[in-house]
Structure 1
Amino acid sequence: MLPEERFNALVEEFAASPGVSIPGEPGRRGFGSSALKVNGSIFAMISGGKLVLKLPHARVAALIGTGAGTPFDAGKGRPMKEWLTVTADDKESWLALAREALDFVGSAHR
């Protein structure tokens, strides 16, 4: 399955979740318009054909340490601390990590 197809499966999975905005909704343009958002903040997106998620810094470091991801650089020359490019290439990993990202970004305790 192509990354875009797997991302579309995530969109379908989270479409009915409270506070979640999906790509393609009316009025969404520019940066983040093709991302999954919760309460207006991005928690998952495709960049360069890879899934990118927002997670706690310690979790990002742990996943990089296990080889499940790499640092995400938004083209500014340095990695973003709370963003992970997922290297795991299976549907279950994508779904589990995307749920973590939704919970993290949607949490009022960040």
Structure 2
Amino acid sequence: MMPKVSDQAVAAYDVVAAGLESAGVVRGSMFGMPCLKVGKKVLAGMFGDAMTFKLPPEPREKALALPGAEPFDPGMGRPMKEWVVIPLAQSEAWPEYAAEALEYVSR
């Protein structure tokens, strides 16, 4: 079951999505979760009042140092290897990690 999403989280997600449109990023859905894609590759998504990002090792470790950030487990009992979830309280960092994720999946 997907966590509830606040209007504040949706607004912050919309800012990130709009900021990446010029790079060819489009909105989509993965497993019922709003996500951002470039081509067929997912780079970020919304999970409750947080955003998830697919990151390479160094930016991922930096992201995990943010208060409340953690490896992303979509509810299957084990975290996804390259993914980190960053809470709404750290939404000022979302654009930075979205850009990192875009660069990573575009390689």
TM-score past 0.5 threshold? yes
The letter of the residue matching 1:48 is: G
**Which has the bigger relative contact order, CA under 8 A and spacing at least 6?**
2
| Per-residue deviation, 1:90 | 4.5
Q: Which has the larger share of helix? A: 2
| Per-residue deviation, 1:104 | 0.6
* Aligned counterparts of 2:55 and 2:37: Cα–Cα separation in 1: 13
Partner of residue 12, structure 2? 6
Partner of residue 84, structure 1? 84
Paired residues, what number? Answer: 101
Q: Specify every segment of 5 or more residues in structure 2 that has no aligned partner in the other structure, as ranges.
A: 1-6
* Aligned counterparts of 2:30 and 2:69: Cα–Cα separation in 1: 26
* Aligned counterparts of 2:80 and 2:103: Cα–Cα separation in 1: 19
* Aligned counterparts of 2:49 and 2:64: Cα–Cα separation in 1: 18
The letter of the residue matching 1:15 is: E
Looking at CA atoms only, which structure, 1 or 2, has the larger radius of gyration?
1
Identity, % of aligned positions:
29
* Aligned counterparts of 1:34 and 1:66: Cα–Cα separation in 2: 23
| Cα distance per residue 1:6-45 (max 9 Å; x no partner) | 0011111111213x2224xxxxx66367211012111111
TM-score (normalizing by structure 2): 0.77
* Aligned counterparts of 2:71 and 2:56: Cα–Cα separation in 1: 13
What does residue range 28-107 of structure 1 map to in structure 2 within 5 Å? 31=31, 34-67=34-67, 69-87=69-87, 89-107=89-107
